[in-house]
């Protein structure tokens, strides 16, 4: 049995429990629980922003922690998550101020821009009107406007308002979305004001239910994008929509159905009424957003890959078949180009990329790798077809970062793996894949060209535990991560030569894209203030391993590489809770220059170079 006895770490107030290898940092354990802590210093223990309180047996404080925290704080269980490790089963309380994207920080940012904090598009006004009488015979809507201020209204609701006003004795709650009256609800319903933010990934869908009064997240749901069964990357889906009769409708409808099911899960988990969800903010790549809206993606499948719309779209959810409030609305993010979509705009928005003072790079690793550079006040963006390797697709035993996924692979004398959910493994997610490849390179089982050595080619000093894991698989050599006796399905989990080629392609494409953007802007990797890594591809990427396989430039100080979590979802959240964020998103999309890597004369060379592991 190669698996260590994993240790349970429970986070409060969320109550989420993860199982991690002993010695895992609290920062990484938190990331496993989808809690992204702030770490402006890059996890060096210098900024003190990631402080958490350990309930139970905390590890001994490190010297760095002693510098940052007082004796009394340490006695009270306070630790720096980037420094403190897991020694045994513990509970960890995470103060909201330590979160990367805390409500306070979002609101603070909104305040900096001079706008009132918490300014969602949808708002409610409770009114108590006098009933009409002789000499007080204003039209119903004018009576209402005198209390709420002017609004627009659609015919469908106009037909209902007079009856509703009378039934409710002219007291109730007006629901307004950007100056459009979308409902008049009897009684005072102001506390029930919800929206959903959705990251529409090529491979993964994530939805969060948000309380617009507080900005709090009330529930989260995620699942595989069901379109995956019709093609596992955007180009294959564009092809499907073009060449299959009714293919576009099919792609659209299975996506909508999945989102409706997720909304059902959110509603069930939170107890919130579906009719009190008034908006959904969507963020995804250009193709996903067009499929969501049933806009033919054909022009995205051929040179020069042109999107239909550039600006964000406001659409009645009813027209998309989405089930929230009957007059609810969907906001779909603006896009930059055919392969730099709303998800990239979300990333720029959520990371405040355009507010940095020194060159900063944002790399969103999904089925496509989107790369955005901010330097000298200019935003440039490019996209690479990374492929779905990091999300588990096209990898023989690949899977999403969910229960049963090997998410961490460590070699210290022998191979150790960590499995999400403390269950027997069923596959390998993106972070586990990077770890495994990095360890194979480090221990010389893998050549820089990406070839897995056969056992008799191995150097003599290779660890026996690793050497023994080079096993025949389908007539070729593969690397065994978990034997059939250890796995949930009784089949071995191996890493094949083909899996490693997929990883090489994905890594090379991103690395080459980074290189081109930096070169065009005249920025050296060492000049970068930070490299922000985003993506919902599983879990915490170990930066040293990302550099080892060449995904991240090796000449960037490791502490400058910072994990940002799912910035596509974070951007969608921001636009759901703040009109100001929506305006900013529109502006960012239009001012970002779109670089078509395939037309860059240096790209093919850079790609070929980047395919070689450092």
Q: How long is the chain?
A: 614
- Using the minimum distance from each CB to its own copies, give the nearer residue, 63 or 135: 135
- Asked if 63 interacts with its own copies (CB under 8 A), we say no
Residue selected from 42, 61, 201, 307 as contacting its own copies according to rule CB under 8 A: 307
DSSP 121: S
The rounded radius of gyration (Å) of the Cα atoms in the chain is 26
147 contributes a contact to its own copies by CB under 8 A: no
Which stretches of 383-496 are DSSP H helices?
Answer: 430-442, 464-467
From the list 15, 72, 142, 243, which residue makes contact with its own copies (rule: CB under 8 A)?
A: 142
Question: DSSP secondary structure string, 41-92?
Answer: T-SSSSS-TTEEEEES-PPPPPHHHHHHS-HHHHHTTEEETTT-B--SSEEE
Q: Is position 591 an interface residue for its own copies (rule: CB under 8 A)?
A: no
For residues 369 and 386, the answer to whether their CB atoms sit within 8 Å is yes
- Binding to its own copies by CB under 8 A, coded x per residue (else -) over 541-580, reads ----------------------------------------
Binding residue (CB under 8 A) for its own copies from 51, 294, 560, 562: 294
Residue 594 in contact with its own copies, rule: CB under 8 A: yes
Residues 80-119, interacting with its own copies (CB under 8 A): none
- The yes or no reply on residue 331 touching its own copies (CB under 8 A) is no
Q: Is 149 in the site for its own copies (CB under 8 A)?
A: no
CB of 449 to its own copies, least distance (A): 32
Position 309 contacts its own copies (CB under 8 A): yes
Q: Under a CB-based contact definition with an 8 Å cutoff, are residues 349 and 582 in contact?
A: no
Tokens of 452: 């897995």
User: Which residue's CB is nearer to its own copies, number 51 or number 143?
Assistant: 143
CA dihedral sign of residues 90, 412, 471, 610: positive
Tokens of 212: 């617009």
Draw the binding track, 118-137, toward its own copies (x: CB under 8 A; -: no contact).
--------------xxxxxx
CB of 252 vs its own copies, minimal distance in Å: 11
Distance CA 381, CA 368 (A): 13
Nearer to its own copies, 1 or 155 (CB): 155
Q: Which positions from 356 to 395 touch its own copies by CB under 8 A, shown as an x/- string?
A: ----------------------------------------
- 3-state DSSP of 125-186: EEEECCCCECCECCCHHHHHHHHHCCCEECHHHHCCHHHHHHHCCCEEEEEEECCEEEEEEE
Given a contact cutoff of 8 angstroms between Cβ atoms, the answer to whether 201 and 259 are in contact is: no
Q: Please report how close the Cβ of residue 134 comes to its own copies at its closest, in angstroms.
A: 5
Q: For the CB of residue 573, give the shortest distance to its own copies in the complex, in Å.
A: 23
Our finding on whether 421 is near its own copies (CB under 8 A) is: no
Binding of residue 308 to its own copies (CB under 8 A): yes
Q: In this chain, which of 212, 313, 434, 518 binds its own copies, going by CB under 8 A? A: 313
Binding span for its own copies by CB under 8 A among 160-168, 209-217, 219-227, 429-437: 160-168
| Cα(438)–Cα(436) distance, integer angstroms | 5
CA distances from 151 to 148, 265, 392, 583 (A): 8, 33, 48, 20
Which CB, 485 or 599, lies closer to its own copies? 599
- Closest contact distance (angstroms) between CB of 265 and its own copies is 26
Please say which residue, 1 or 142, places its beta carbon nearer to its own copies.
142
Can you tell me which of 74, 91, 147, 153 binds its own copies, judged by CB under 8 A? 153
Comparing C-alpha atoms, which of 160, 145, 308, 305 is closest to residue 234?
A: 305
**Locus of tokens 């250890």:** 486
According to DSSP, the β-strands at 204-211 and 194-200 are antiparallel
CA distance 509 to 437: 17
User: Considering the rule CB under 8 A, would residue 139 count as an interface residue with its own copies?
Assistant: yes
Q: State which residue, 154 or 376, has the beta carbon closest to its own copies.
A: 154
Q: Is 471 in the site for its own copies (CB under 8 A)?
A: no
- Asked if residue 329 lies in contact with residue 282, where contact means CB atoms within 8 angstroms, the answer is no
158: contact with its own copies by CB under 8 A: yes
Q: H/E element holding 498?
A: helix 497-521
> Does 179 sit near its own copies (CB under 8 A)?
no
User: Which residue reads 């399905």 in tokens?
Assistant: 489
Interface residue with its own copies, options 310, 421, 424, 602 (CB under 8 A): 310
Q: Which of 95, 186, 304, 522 binds its own copies (CB under 8 A)?
A: 304
Q: How many residues bind its own copies (CB under 8 A)?
A: 46
Element (H, E) at 478: strand 476-482
For 184, phi and psi rounded to 5 degrees?
-130, 110
- Residue numbers at the binding site for its own copies (CB under 8 A): 132-142, 145, 153, 155-156, 158-159, 161-163, 166, 293-296, 299, 303-311, 313, 315, 319-320, 335, 337-338, 590, 594, 596, 599
């Amino acid at each position: 049995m190669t698996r260590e006895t994993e240790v349970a770490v429970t986070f409060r107030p969320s109550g989420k429990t993860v199982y991690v290898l002993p010695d895992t940092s609290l920062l990484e354990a938190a990331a496993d629980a989808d809690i992204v802590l702030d770490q402006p210093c890059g996890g060096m223990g210098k900024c003190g922003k990631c402080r958490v309180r350990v309930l139970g047996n905390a590890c001994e404080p490190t010297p760095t922690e002693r510098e940052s925290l007082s004796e009394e704080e340490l006695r009270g269980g306070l630790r720096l998550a980037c420094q403190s490790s897991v020694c045994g089963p513990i509970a960890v309380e995470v103060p909201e101020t330590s979160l990367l994207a805390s409500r306070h920080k979002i609101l603070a940012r909104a305040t900096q821009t001079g706008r009132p904090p918490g300014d969602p598009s949808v708002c409610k006004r409770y009114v108590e009107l006098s009933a009409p009488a002789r000499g007080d015979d204003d039209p119903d809507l004018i009576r209402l406007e005198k209390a709420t201020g002017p609004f627009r209204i659609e015919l469908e609701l106009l037909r209902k308002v007079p009856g509703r006003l009378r039934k409710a004795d002219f007291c109730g709650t007006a629901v307004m979305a950007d100056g459009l009256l979308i409902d008049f609800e009897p009684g005072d319903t102001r506390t029930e004001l919800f929206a959903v933010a959705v990251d529409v990934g090529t491979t993964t869908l994530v939805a969060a239910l948000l309380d617009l009064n507080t900005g709090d997240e009330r529930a989260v749901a995620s699942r595989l994008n069901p379109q995956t069964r019709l093609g596992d990357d955007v180009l294959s889906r564009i092809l499907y929509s073009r060449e299959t009769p009714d293919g576009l409708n099919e792609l659209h409808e299975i996506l909508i159905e999945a989102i409706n099911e997720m909304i059902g899960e959110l509603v069930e988990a939170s107890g919130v009424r579906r009719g009190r969800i008034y908006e959904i903010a969507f963020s995804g790549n250009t193709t996903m957003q067009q499929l969501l809206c049933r806009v033919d993606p054909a022009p995205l499948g051929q040179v020069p890959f042109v999107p239909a719309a550039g600006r964000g779209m406001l659409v009645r959810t009813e027209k998309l078949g989405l089930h929230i409030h009957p007059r609810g609305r969907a906001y779909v993010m603006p896009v930059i180009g055919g392969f730099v979509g709303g998800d990239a705009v979300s990333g720029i928005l959520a990371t405040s990329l355009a507010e940095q003072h020194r060159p900063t790079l944002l790399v969103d690793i999904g089925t496509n790798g989107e790369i955005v550079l901010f330097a000298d006040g200019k935003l440039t963006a490019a996209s690479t077809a990374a492929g779905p390797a990091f999300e588990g697709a096209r990898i023989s035993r690949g899977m999403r970062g969910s229960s049963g996924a090997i998410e961490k692979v460590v070699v210290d004398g022998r191979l150790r793996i960590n499995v999400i959910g403390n269950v027997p493994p069923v596959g390998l997610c993106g972070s586990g894949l990077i770890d495994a490849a990095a360890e194979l390179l480090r221990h010389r089982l893998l050549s820089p060209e990406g070839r897995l050595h056969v056992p008799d080619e191995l150097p003599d000093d290779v660890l026996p535990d690793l050497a023994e894991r080079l096993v025949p698989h389908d007539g070729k050599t593969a690397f065994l991560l978990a034997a059939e006796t250890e796995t949930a399905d009784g089949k071995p989990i191996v890493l094949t030569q083909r899996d490693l080629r997929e990883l090489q392609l994905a890594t090379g494409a991103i690395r080459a894209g980074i290189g081109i953007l930096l070169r065009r802007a005249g920025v050296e990797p060492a000049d970068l203030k930070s490299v922000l890594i985003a993506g919902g591809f599983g879990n915490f990427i170990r930066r040293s391993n990302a550099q080892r396989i060449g995904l991240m430039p090796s000449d960037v100080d490791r502490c400058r590489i910072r994990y940002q979590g799912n910035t596509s979802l974070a951007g969608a959240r921001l636009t759901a809770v703040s009109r100001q964020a929506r305006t900013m998103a529109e502006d960012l999309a239009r001012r970002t220059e779109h670089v078509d890597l395939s037309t860059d004369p240096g790209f093919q060379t850079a790609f070929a170079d980047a395919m070689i592991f450092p």
